[in-house]
Amino acid sequence: MGTDVFRSEVPLTVNGSPCRPTVDHRSTLLDVLREQMGLTGAKKGCDHGQCGACTVLVDGRRANSCLLLAVAHEGCDITTVEGLHADDGVELHPVQRAFLERDAFQCGYCTPGQICSAVGALAEAAAGNASHVTDPDADTGEPVELTREEIRERLSGNLCRCGAYPHIVEAVEDVTP
């Protein structure tokens, strides 16, 4: 049995700040964020890409950080829920505010993932990315209107066991252009 542990320094940008964590090659991005960098906003719900609690934005696109090996993400720009708010660190992101206003959570454990996922979904819809429920006859590349059905479909990778779904959909609807 080999006992060597392979580690590498990986340049990343996390929430706008460049950093160079030294990571175990087996480490997921989620574990590096949580255990090495103290960014526990991204949650570990299943560690297998089944629940979405670990959702972060990687170069602007949402991803399950439990499925990403940190060592494979050299040069990537990572945004976690802690990095969504304005630069002053005080003002919340509009999606975060909408979640508060709609009481779109209970235990709060899926919440950072839901919020990052919503931010990603809003950008995807604005960029014209279709979902499973988008009208196939709609013009390709045009922004997709985020109806409740669209929001539900696009956020279905983010489980919430407290059952806050109706309020989450209302919150996302509130920030839909």
Partner 1 sequence: MPDTASAVGAPAGRREGPQKVAGAARYAAEHTPEGCAYAWPVPATVARGTVASVDTTAALEVSGVIEVLTHLNAPRLEEPDDATLAVLQDARVPHRGWYVALVVADTLEAAREGAAAVRVTYDSEPHDVTLKADHPDAHVPEDEDGTSGEHTRGDAEDAFAAAPARVDVSYRVPPLHNHPMEPHAATAHWQDGRLTAHDSSQGATTVRDVLAGLFALPEEQVTVVSEHVGGGFGSKGTPRPHVVLAAMAARMTERPVKLVLPRRHLPAVVGHRSPTLHRVRLGAKEDGTLTSVIHEVTAHTSRVKEFVETAAAATRVMYPSPHARTTHRVVPLDVPSPSWMRAPGEAPGMYALESAMDELAVNLGIDPIELRLRNDTRTEPDSSKPFSSRHLAECLREGARLFGWSERDPRPRSRSEGPVLVGSGVASATYPVVVAPSRASAHAYPDGSFVVRVNATDIGTGARTVLAQVAADALRVPLESVRTDIGSSDLPDAPLAGGSSGTASWGWAVHEACTRLASRLAGQQGQQLPPEGVGATADTEGTADADSDYARHAFGAHFAEVGVDTVSGEVRVRRLLGVYAAGRILNSRTARSQFIGAMTMGLGMALTEGSTMDAAFGDFTEADLAAYHVPAHADVPAIEAHWIDEDDPHLNPMGSKGIGEIGIVGTAAAIGNALHHATGRRLRELPLTPDRVLTGGL
Kindly list the residues in this chain that would bind partner 1 in the complex (CB under 8 A).
Answer: 1, 3-5, 24, 26-27, 31, 34-35, 38-48, 50-51, 53, 80-82, 85, 92, 96-97, 99-100, 103, 105-112, 115, 148, 151-153, 155-169
Nearer to partner 1, 22 or 126 (CB): 22
Instruction: Identify the three-state secondary structure at position 45.
Output: coil
Distance CA 53, CA 79 (A): 14
Considering the complex, state which of residue 76 and residue 111 has its C-beta at the smaller distance from partner 1: 111
What is the smallest separation between the CB atom of 135 and partner 1, expressed in angstroms? 17
Measured from the CB atom, the residue of 153 and 174 that comes closer to partner 1 is 153
Q: Closest distance between partner 1 and the C-beta of residue 40, in Å?
A: 4
Question: Within a 10 A sphere around the Cβ of 60, how many other Cβ atoms?
Answer: 12
Residue type, 154: R
Cβ atoms 99, 115 nearer than 8 A? yes
Residue 139 CB, shortest distance to partner 1, in Å, is 24
Scored b (16 or more CB within 10 A) or e, 102-124 reads: bebbeeebbbbbbbbbbbbbbeb
Q: How far apart are CA 20 and CA 159, in angstroms?
A: 32
User: How far apart are CB 141 and partner 1 at their closest, in Å?
Assistant: 24
Which C-beta is closer to partner 1: that of 12 or that of 111?
111
